[in-house]
């Protein structure tokens, strides 16, 4: 069987198996088992991909497969991955794997919880392997909808409000996407039967007037889920109400659908408009980056801190994509992966801390380093990765973006870049603020000494994420080369002015 | 041969009947009388079918068949409607149409 | 000649870090200290071997001992990790490993009873690794990477006592201030690399081969000058130059051996090393930037020396003294020319860096021994310690003489070269430098007399001499402080790689020694026996004294900017704006939709007759309009 199909099949089969499980133990075992298989096969996929590439296979996408679905409209289920998709799939596998362990102790409607979670993951995998815009959009929706249930049922705080807000805003984005996708479908000058296939569409030209209309739609449509300013406000509310694993998956993977979509759909299919309009969105993303960071500085709720910092980091992804060159785009993909890993780590840790302290307000906590050394050290590592310490993944991503952004010589790009670069100082400020208030200082409360130490499943979750961060941080060359090679087809269309 | 009544005259009658039905349906508050109004409208339509059949397609029977169908269905419909009214009456002790607004928003 | 083994100089401390870090809390007893010490000991040995091998050959070329591509950005730019050997990096290797080894040994005694012993040695090894990686960097970006790592290890070590809020605040401050400076460094690197297409030092330090594709200027200075100024900003942050110096005094919250290693001898001179590393570039393309370097150096050296005269915390006095001495080094670099006698400042600067590392580390370790005995940092609570700690007393005196520039101690030689370098070309800077020499002697001996002479205080328990494991490293450093001045430094290190004969400029030397003696005598007068004469003099300076005591209120200005402006006037309104304008706008959209639907739901009244009326009217309208339209 094609390894890409099995990437969708394993989650689907896992959900089917979950339906017949009854006890919490069975449910957890099945979910963990299924996602372990998924993680392993993602690693196999990476290995096979690198093998193929090393063997000289330089097709745009590998492991291609196509099933006709609705031929008269040109819809078919086309699968295939390039280096970017492989990297994103691996990221998804790591995050969902750790997410299962992070939600080990969910005891309310646990069966339904894991089913929704894995369905969501299946949607994400489908999104990354699809080459057909229609199917891609279908999977996109499949990933967004379970989110409503997951937040609305298992969330905390004003969960119905948050779930509604998040879903509605993402649906608003989807509406733009539908129009944009149909616009691309109808205006490209493909002969014969029209097609939704991205690669085929990419070889055809769309009139510039049409591009001007549809580019903003597609970019904003994907930008909403990528937390583009000013459409980011679902993120703080949504993330803070969502249960741990959902926050992890959402910030870690779902927000990346935005950047991925912008790069591989909006920029790839509508290159001329992308060039013309990049400045508008550069301003918006530049604002995202610095604004998100500054807004983080004054937050006191851990989840809000992480949500706003995600706005800043994901803003950097879109910012880099808009630089329209290979280096910056490589950095964008690296940043997606790096941010995915570290934000998942943060949300996992926040969940674990919350289960002990019963509060997420940092000013009400303190001195956790002494009572929970393992989790605290993990938090510090995540924080250091987030502020771009060399040797951890954040540094690699950010530096690639900055070097790429500096390839533009004009004043506008320079200023935008310098504004974005200065966010690293603000990042340091809020990370150290959290570390200082939360982990250091005297132990706040005598009761803290009774906290249970980190449990085995918590250790699995955090350690696997940290390993990911370290691997990318220490040996980034293979990953960055893999991504760069895949970017050729996209970026070559965006010829520099 | 006796001179036929012109079609227009017949149509005036049926139109009058139809709008009497409409008027009744819109103004009466009693569900039974509203049902009667509906029946008047249906009968106006029936007459129309018969007249058109006779004047425009003499010798053909489609119009008559349609009327018969409508009469049969109207009978069934009246039975259903009255059954609903009875149930309604059992529930709210009234068959005033203005009180039957459970289905709003 | 093979230098491949030099990679181990860097790798061994990393190994020690990994072992101690992963095994933290699980390693038996005090083994972690020995693991770290042995690792750095081997590194030290290898460094000496390298130095011997490198300097014994006449060539002073750059040697790439090891290099591997770590990350590729585009066709021309890539980050390499490697080991670059040239005179200054070899010299730095020797300095860092020597001081590290001494501090590691000393720490085994100093930290014996502390919690987190493993963690301490893990962080210390991490620091040594990063610092060694920094000096052997083959390119700017590698340097930046290790630069950041050094910053983090400094952060971790300052915050070693993490349950003490002052330590946490100090570590945070140190990291953020240097981070801000590094922002400049990073932008500078990006600019330089954009115009030159490389990060490599081999190319960057060879200005003849470089051509800049642009002569664009910004605010009257060429782009490259801006770039180099920004890079200097990074160096100024790490080296605690005014106005980015505020973190250094607070950094004294860390354990004292850490202050000796990081905040006196090695990390804080990274800025000097950076400018020295890029010196050919500065000299060839941005003389204006060099003038700025000289000015900042001169200003800081005077500024810090003035503050040092008024402080009462023993470690803070030393911290300000460090700033002042680094200011000296920067000044010397700034006034230096390139090649031959012109390049005297360059050699002098690095010479001073070399000697300063020894005597300043010794001063800090001595201070550590004193604090260890007295359990206080405040010199007003010390006095008459020479009876209790005779060996420490002697060693401290040697260091004081060295820093004051009294012959034949090492400080004299290097300081003399710096003065000579400024003497010919920059009379004003020369004046400042001489004044600072006097101030240095004064504040060091003020410290010395108060602590070791003065009136005996009542101690909780009798101060005792430090244990051997602490004294031994101090003795080694003292020997270094005495002897390193006699090294013919110019033969090893000079701006253009040609051997340079250093000779003492007697007129300068006599002036500086005279002024140093004057400083010592004043200190002796005031502080040998406790009296209020010093207070009277201090009071006569009035506001100058008060502002120096308060470090010229720079901290307050920073707090105003960060807390008052950035936090309160930018970040908080932004967060408010986000919640109450942008988010409220989204909620408003939802509310509008809700309102509209609640308005039109009235149509759905449940009244059959109303529906029928609307329906019939609609039909009529449509029918009538059709009839009308067909006519």
In the predicted model, is pLDDT for residue C213 greater than 60?
no
Q: Are the Cβ atoms of C609 and B26 closer than 8 angstroms?
A: yes
C617: which chain B residues are within 8 Å (Cβ-Cβ)?
A: none
B22 and C616: CB-CB below 8 Å?
A: yes
In Å, the largest CA–CA distance within chain A is 75
Q: Give the per-residue pLDDT at B67.
A: 92
The separation between CA C396 and the C-alpha centre of its own chain, rounded to angstroms, equals 24
Distance from CA of B103 to the nearest CA of C (A): 5
The list of chain B residues with pLDDT below 50 reads: none
Taking CA atoms, what residue in C is nearest to B98? C607
Query: CA-CA distance, B81 to B59, in Å (whole number)?
Result: 36
Cβ of C72 within 8 Å of Cβ of A370? The answer is no
Q: Does the distance separating the beta carbons of B22 and C609 come in below 8 Å? A: no
C597 to chain B, minimum CA–CA distance in Å? 11
C133 lies within 8 A of chain A by CB: no
Predicted local distance difference test score (pLDDT) of residue C368: 87
CB contact under 8 A, B105 and C601: yes
For residue C612, list chain B residues with Cβ-Cβ distance below 8 A. 25-26
The values of phi and psi at residue C87, to 5°, are: -50, -45
Cβ-Cβ contacts under 8 Å for A384 (sequence gap 6 or more): A392, A431, C152
Model pTM score: 0.86
Q: Which C residues 510-529 touch B at CB under 8 Å? A: none
Residue C380 has pLDDT above 70, yes or no: yes
Residue in C604, C609, C613 nearest the CB of B97: C609
CB C223 within 8 A of CB C192: no
- Which chain C residue has its CA at the smallest distance from B34's CA? C609
Are B100 and C605 within 8 A, CB to CB? Answer: no
- DSSP label at residue C456: P
> A52 at the C interface (CB within 8 A)?
no
Rg (CA), chain A: 21
Cross-chain Cβ contact A428/C179 below 8 Å: yes
What does the pLDDT look like over C449-476, one tens digit per residue?
A: 888 877 777 777 777 777 888 888 888 8
CA distance A198 to A184: 10
User: Closest-CA residue in chain B for C609?
Assistant: B26
Chain C residue with minimal CA distance to B104? Answer: C606
Which of A492 and C323 is assigned the larger pLDDT?
Answer: C323
Q: Per the CB < 8 Å rule, is A298 touching C571?
A: yes
- Give the pLDDT confidence score for residue A496 in this predicted structure: 46
Cα Rg of chain B, angstroms: 17
Crossing angle of helices A234-241 and A302-321, rounded to 10°? 140
Mean pLDDT of chain C: 83
Cross-chain residue pair B104–C608, CB shorter than 8 Å = no
Check CB contact under 8 Å for C585 and A327.
no
Contact partners of C by the rule of 3+ C-beta pairs under 8 A? A, B
Write down the pLDDT at residue B1: 52
Chain C interface disruption, residue of A297, A413, A440, most C CBs within 10 A: A440
pLDDT of residue C220: 65
Q: How far apart are the C-alpha atoms of A378 and A459, rounded to whole Å?
A: 10
A409 touches chain C (CB under 8 A): yes
Can you tell me the mean pLDDT for C383-392?
79
What is the reported pLDDT for A40? Answer: 92
pLDDT of residue A495: 58
> Residue C562 has which token pair?
């960060």
Residue A29's contacts (CB-CB under 8 Å, 6 or more residues apart) are none
Who's near C187: CB < 8 A, 6+ residues apart?
Answer: A418, A421, C227, C230
Residue C175: its chain A contacts at CB < 8 A?
428, 432
How far, in Å, CA of A437 to CA of A368, rounded?
9
CA B16-B22-B28 angle, to 5 degrees, is 125
Residue % of chain C over a pLDDT of 90: 4
Compute the CA torsion angle C253, C254, C260, C262 (nearest 10 deg). Answer: -110
Q: Is pLDDT at C571 greater than 60 in this prediction?
A: yes
- Condensed to tens digits (0 to 9), the pLDDT of residues C232-270 reads 898 888 888 888 888 888 888 888 888 888 888 888 888
Residue C109 has pLDDT above 80, yes or no: yes
| Chain C interface test: which of B15, B21, B88, B98 (most C C-beta within 10 Å) | B98
Contact partners, residue A224, CB within 8 Å, separation at least 6: A169, A170, A172, A173, A176, A231, A234, A258
Q: Least CA distance to B26: which residue of chain C?
A: C609
Whole-number pLDDT of residue C212 = 61
User: Which residue stretches of chain A have pLDDT < 50?
Assistant: 496-497
Please write down the HEC assignment for all residues of chain A: CCHHHHHHHHHHHHHHHHHCCCCHHHHHHHHHHHHHHHHHHHHHHHHHHHHHHHCCCCCCCEEEEEEEEEHHHCEEEEEEECHHHHHHHHHHHHHHHHHHHHCCCCCCCHHHHHHHHHHHHHHHHHHHHECEHHHHHHHHHHHHHHHHHHHHHHCCCCHHHHHHHHHHHHHHHHHHHHHHHHHHHHHCCCCCCCCCEHHHHHCCCCCHHHHHHHHHHHHHHHHHHCCCCCCCCHHHHHHHHCCHHHHHHHHHHHHHHHHHHHHHHHHHHCHHHHHHHHHHHHHHHHHHHHHHHHHHHCCCEHHHHHHHHHHHHHHHHHHHHCCCCHHHHHHHHHHHHHHHHHHHHHHHHHHHHHHHHCCCEHHHCCCHHHHCHHHHHHHHHHHHHHCCCCCCHHHHHHHHHHHHHCCCCCHHHHHHHHHHHCHHHHHHHHHHHHHHHHHCCCCCCHHHHHCCCCCHHHHHHHHHHHHHHHHHHHCCHHHHHHHHHHHHHHHCCCCCC
Cross-chain Cβ contact B26/C605 below 8 Å = no
pLDDT at A497: 39
pLDDT, tens digit (0-9, with 9 covering 90-100), for A448-460: 788 888 888 888 8
Eight-state DSSP code of residue B102: T
Which chain B residue shows the shortest CA-CA distance from C608? Answer: B97
Mean pLDDT of chain A: 87
pLDDT band at C626 (very low <50, low <70, confident <90, very high): very high
CB contact under 8 A, C607 and B98: yes
A459–C contact, CB cutoff 8 A: no
| A399 interfaces chain C, CB cutoff of 8 Å | yes
- Residues from chain A contacting residue C191 (CB–CB below 8 Å): 406
**Contacts of residue C165 in chain A, CB cutoff 8 Å?**
440-442
Chain C residues within an 8 Å CB radius of B99: none
Position A94 scores a pLDDT of: 92
State how far residue A304 is from chain C, nearest Cα, in angstroms: 11
**Mean pLDDT across the stretch C398-425?**
84
Beta-bridge mates of residue C126: none
Distant-in-sequence, close-in-space partners of C621: CB < 8 Å, separation ≥ 6: none
Contacts of C614 in chain B (CB under 8 A): none
For the complex shown, is ipTM > 0.85? yes
Question: Could B98 and C612 be called an inter-chain contact, meaning their C-beta atoms sit closer than 8 Å?
Answer: no
Hey, what domains does chain B have and what are their CATH numbers?
A: 7-92 (1.10.287.3510)
Shortest Cα distance from B102 to chain C (angstroms)? 6
Assess whether pLDDT exceeds 60 at residue C214.
no
Residues 435-474 of C with CB under 8 A from B: none
A vs C: CB pairs below 8 A: 131
Give the phi and the psi of residue C71 in degrees, each rounded to 5: -155, 135
C609 touches chain B (CB under 8 A): yes
Q: d(Cα A426, Cα C562) in Å, to the nearest integer? A: 11
Q: Is residue A288 within 8 Å of A311, Cβ to Cβ?
A: yes
Q: In the Cβ-directed half-sphere of C87, how many Cα atoms lie within 13 Å?
A: 24
């Amino acid at each position: 069987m094609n390894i890409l199909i099995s990437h969708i099949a394993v989650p689907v089969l896992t959900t089917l198996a979950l339906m017949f499980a009854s006890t919490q133990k069975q449910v957890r075992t099945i979910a963990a088992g299924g996602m372990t298989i998924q993680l392993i096969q993602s690693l196999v996929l990476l290995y096979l991909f690198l093998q193929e590439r090393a063997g000289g296979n330089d097709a745009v996408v590998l492991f291609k497969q196509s099933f006709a679905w609705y031929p008269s409209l040109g819809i078919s289920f086309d699968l295939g991955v390039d280096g970017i998709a492989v990297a994103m799939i691996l990221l998804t596998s790591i995050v969902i794997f750790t997410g299962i362990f992070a939600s080990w102790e969910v005891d309310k409607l646990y069966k339904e919880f894991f089913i929704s979670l894995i369905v969501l993951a299946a949607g994400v995998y489908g999104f990354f392997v699809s080459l057909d815009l229609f199917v891609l959009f279908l999977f996109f929706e499949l990933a967004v909808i379970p989110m409503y249930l997951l937040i609305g049922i298992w969330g905390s705080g004003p969960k119905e409000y948050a779930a509604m807000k998040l879903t509605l805003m993402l649906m608003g984005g989807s509406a733009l996407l539908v129009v944009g996708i149909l616009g691309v479908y109808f205006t490209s000058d493909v002969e014969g039967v029209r097609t939704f296939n991205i690669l085929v569409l990419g070889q055809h030209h769309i009139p510039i007037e049409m591009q001007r209309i549809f580019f903003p739609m597609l970019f904003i449509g994907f930008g909403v889920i990528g937390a583009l300013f000013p459409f980011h406000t679902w993120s703080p509310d949504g993330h803070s109400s969502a249960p741990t694993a959902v926050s992890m998956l959402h910030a870690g993977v779902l927000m990346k659908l935005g950047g991925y979509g912008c790069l591989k759909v909006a920029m790839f299919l509508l290159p001329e408009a992308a060039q013309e309009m990049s400045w508008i969105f550069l301003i918006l993303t530049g604002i995202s980056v610095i604004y998100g960071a500054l807004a983080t500085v004054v937050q006191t709720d851990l989840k809000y801190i992480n949500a706003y910092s995600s706005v800043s980091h994901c803003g950097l992804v879109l910012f880099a994509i808009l630089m329209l060159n290979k280096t910056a785009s490589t950095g964008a993909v690296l940043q997606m992966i790096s941010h995915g890993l570290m934000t998942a780590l943060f949300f996992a840790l926040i969940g674990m801390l919350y289960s002990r302290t019963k509060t997420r307000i940092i000013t009400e906590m303190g001195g956790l380093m002494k009572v929970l050394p393992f989790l605290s050290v993990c938090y510090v590592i995540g924080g250091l990765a987030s502020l771009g310490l060399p040797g951890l993944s954040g540094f690699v991503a950010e530096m690639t973006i900055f070097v790429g952004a500096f390839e533009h010589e004009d004043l506008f790009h320079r200023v935008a870049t310098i504004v974005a670069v200065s966010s690293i100082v603000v990042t340091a400020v809020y990370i150290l603020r959290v570390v200082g208030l939360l982990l250091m200082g005297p132990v706040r409360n005598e009761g803290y000494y009774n906290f249970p130490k980190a449990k085995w499943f918590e250790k699995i979750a955090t350690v696997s994420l940290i390993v990911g961060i370290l691997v990318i941080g220490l040996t980034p060359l293979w990953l960055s080369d893999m991504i760069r090679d895949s970017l050729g087809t996209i970026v070559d269309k965006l010829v520099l002015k | 041969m006796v001179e036929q009544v012109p079609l227009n005259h017949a149509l005036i009658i049926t139109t009058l009947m139809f709008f009497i039905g409409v008027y009744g349906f819109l103004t009466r508050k009693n569900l039974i009388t509203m049902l009667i109004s509906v029946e008047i409208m249906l009968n106006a339509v029936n007459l129309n079918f018969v007249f058109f059949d006779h004047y425009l397609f003499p010798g053909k029977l489609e119009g008559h068949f349609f009327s018969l169908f409508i009469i049969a269905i109207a009978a069934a419909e009246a039975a259903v409607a009255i059954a609903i009214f009875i149930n309604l009456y059992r529930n709210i002790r009234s068959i005033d149409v203005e009180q039957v607004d459970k289905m709003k928003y | 000649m093979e230098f491949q083994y030099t990679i181990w100089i860097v790798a061994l401390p990393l190994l020690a870090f990994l072992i101690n870090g992963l095994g933290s809390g699980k390693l038996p007893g005090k083994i972690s200290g020995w693991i770290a010490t042995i690792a750095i000991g081997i590194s030290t040995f290898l460094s000496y071997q390298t130095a011997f091998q490198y300097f014994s050959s006449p060539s002073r070329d750059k040697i790439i001992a090891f290099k591997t591509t770590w990350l590729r950005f585009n066709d021309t730019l890539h980050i390499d990790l490697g080991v670059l050997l040239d005179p200054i990096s070899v010299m730095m290797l020797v300095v860092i490993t020597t001081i590290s080894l001494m501090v590691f040994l000393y720490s085994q005694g100093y930290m014996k009873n502390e919690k987190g012993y493993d963690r301490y040695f893990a962080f210390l090894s991490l620091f040594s690794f990063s610092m060694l990686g920094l000096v052997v960097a083959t390119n700017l970006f590698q340097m930046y990477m290790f630069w950041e790592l050094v910053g983090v290890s400094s952060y971790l070590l300052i915050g070693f006592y993490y349950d003490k809020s002052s330590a946490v605040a100090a570590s945070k401050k140190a990291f953020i201030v240097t981070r801000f400076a590094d922002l400049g460094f990073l932008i500078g690197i990006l600019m330089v690399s954009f115009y030159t297409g490389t990060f490599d030092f081999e190319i960057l330090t060879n200005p003849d081969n470089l051509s800049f594709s642009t002569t664009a200027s910004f605010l009257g200075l060429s782009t490259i000058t801006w770039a180099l100024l920004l890079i200097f900003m990074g160096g100024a942050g790490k080296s605690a130059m005014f106005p980015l110096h505020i973190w250094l005094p607070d950094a004294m919250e860390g354990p004292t051996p850490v202050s000796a290693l990081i905040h006196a001898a090695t990390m804080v001179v990274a800025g000097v090393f950076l400018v020295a590393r890029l010196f050919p570039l500065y000299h060839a393309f941005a003389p204006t930037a060099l003038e700025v370097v000289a000015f900042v150096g001169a200003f800081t050296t005077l500024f810090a020396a003035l503050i040092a005269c008024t402080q009462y915390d023993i470690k803070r006095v030393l911290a300000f003294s460090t700033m002042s001495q680094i200011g000296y080094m920067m000044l010397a670099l700034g006034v230096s020319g390139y090649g031959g006698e012109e390049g005297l400042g360059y050699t002098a600067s690095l010479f001073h860096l070399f000697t300063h590392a020894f005597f300043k580390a010794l001063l800090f370790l001595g201070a550590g021994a004193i604090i260890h005995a007295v359990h206080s940092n405040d010199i007003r609570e010390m006095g008459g310690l020479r009876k209790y700690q005779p060996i420490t007393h002697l060693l401290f005196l040697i260091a004081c003489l060295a820093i004051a520039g009294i012959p034949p101690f090492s400080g004299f030689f290097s300081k003399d070269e710096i003065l000579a370098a400024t003497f010919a070309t920059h009379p004003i800077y020369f004046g400042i430098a001489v004044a600072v020499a006097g101030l240095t002697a004064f504040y060091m001996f003020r410290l010395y007399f108060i602590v070791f002479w003065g009136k005996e205080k009542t101690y909780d328990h009798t101060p005792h001499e430090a244990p051997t494991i602490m004294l031994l490293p101090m003795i080694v450093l003292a020997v270094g402080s005495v002897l390193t001045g006699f090294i013919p430094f110019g033969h090893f290190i000079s701006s253009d790689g040609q051997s340079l004969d250093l000779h003492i400029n007697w007129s300068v030397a006599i002036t500086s020694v005279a002024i140093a003696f004057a400083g010592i005598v004043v200190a002796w007068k005031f502080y040998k026996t406790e009296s209020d004469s010093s207070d009277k003099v201090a009071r006569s300076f009035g506001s100058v004294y008060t502002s120096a005591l308060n470090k010229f209120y720079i901290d307050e200005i920073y707090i105003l900017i960060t807390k008052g402006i950035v936090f309160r006037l930018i970040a908080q309104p932004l967060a408010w704006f986000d919640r109450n304008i942008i988010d409220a706008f989204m909620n408003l959209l939802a509310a509008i939709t809700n309102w509209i639907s609640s308005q039109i739901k009235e149509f759905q009244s449940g009244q059959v007759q109303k529906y029928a009326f609307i329906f019939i009217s609609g039909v009529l309208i449509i029918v009538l309009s059709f009839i009308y339209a067909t006519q």
